[in-house]
A and B are shown apart, each in its own frame.
Chain A
Amino acid sequence: MPDLGPHATFILAAYGFTFAAVAALASFIVADDRKLRRRLADLEAKGIRRRSAGAGPAAKPGRGRKS
């Protein structure tokens, strides 16, 4: 690391803030992704399927329209 002179604090603060902000953003996106995958797995475990996945409400195991 070269000698950053009298303004080293400003330079290091700029780089430090940049990496902290990017790390926070990346962590947020990863945590959000994991949370959604867990929710998706929970719903699939309950037998819920998306219509575009080839199944409608009636396709839920053991369930159908009563009327």
Chain B
Amino acid sequence: MPSLANPTRFLDLAGRLIPWLAALTATLLAWGLYLSFFVAPQDYQQGETVRIMFVHVPAAWLAMFGYALIAVASLGTLIWRHPLADVAAKAAAPIGATFTLIALVTGSLWGKPMWGTYWVWDARLTSMLVLFLLYLGLIALWQAIEEPGRAGRAAAILGLVGAINIPIIKFSVDWWNTLHQPASIVRLGGPTIDPSMLGALAVMAGAFTLLFVVLHLMAMRAEILRRRVLAMQQMQVEHAALDET
């Protein structure tokens, strides 16, 4: 693991892993879609709309996973000053934001036929919206501060403060009365979903997780390149200044 702290070694490893992981992601996604549409039965109460669950639930999990990753990377930035920690956090933000948006939109599209409304200000939906805004805040912060080191430390503080929202999202359905259903998969006593649907959900969750990993590796690689370009542009300016003296 310590060797991965070297960005050059990371780039080499990412370059070798990405094509294989991308192929595995595409295969798993194709299998998951087949199970979601052709194998999983309709729900006795929700009918065919239950198929939205196979994209909504994995997206919601990865929305929270992305922020948890940012929080851990923020510790890496502030405490251990790991060279790749800030890169990992910055690269995860747009991916996490996209998965959060997917969870919000697909949830809304599931809510309309089931609840009769696209949106309610209940604790689960609102805390997910707060998560999306936190992601946007982090992205804006990285954009606003030019020097990567300073931007990384400021974003790490916001990342850690915002992490309090993750347990709030998870337990919001237990702590408050919500229109959103309580936990039905990750819960004491085991899942309440029928195994015929759970298989499709597990495959889609695996595919989405791999997709997140592939996109994150690609985004981290681009971020390392961005920092190299910045460093070289600064050297170019230094050369120009030396030439003028």
Contact = CB atoms under 8 A, between A and B. Distances in A.
Interface of A: 1-5, 7-8, 10-11, 13-15, 17-18, 21-22, 24-26, 28-30, 32-33, 36-37, 39-40, 43-44, 46, 48-51, 57, 60, 63, 65-67
Say whether chain B's binding surface is mostly helix, strand, loop, or mixed: helix
B101 A33 contact: no
Interface residues of B, number: 42
Interface stretch (B106-114, B140-148, B182-190, B193-201): B106-114
Given A4-B51, A48-B235, A29 B109 contact: no
A46 B102 contact: no
B48 to A, nearest CB: 4
Interface of B: 37-38, 42, 47-49, 51-52, 55-56, 59, 94-95, 98, 101-102, 105-106, 109-110, 112-113, 211, 215, 218-219, 221-222, 225-226, 228-229, 231-233, 235-236, 238-239, 242-243, 245
B113 A7 contact: yes
10 contacts: A7-B49, A17-B102, A17-B109, A18-B102, A29-B222, A39-B229, A40-B229, A50-B228, A57-B238, A57-B242
A66 B218 contact: no
Contact of A25 (B98, B109, B225, B229): B98
A57 B236 CA distance: 8
B109 A18 contact: no
B106 A63 contact: no
A7 B109 CA distance: 10
Given A1-B37, A33-B221, A21 B235 contact: no
Contacts of A1: 37-38
Given A7-B49, A18-B59, A43 B229 contact: yes
B117 to A, nearest CB: 13
A37 B239 contact: no
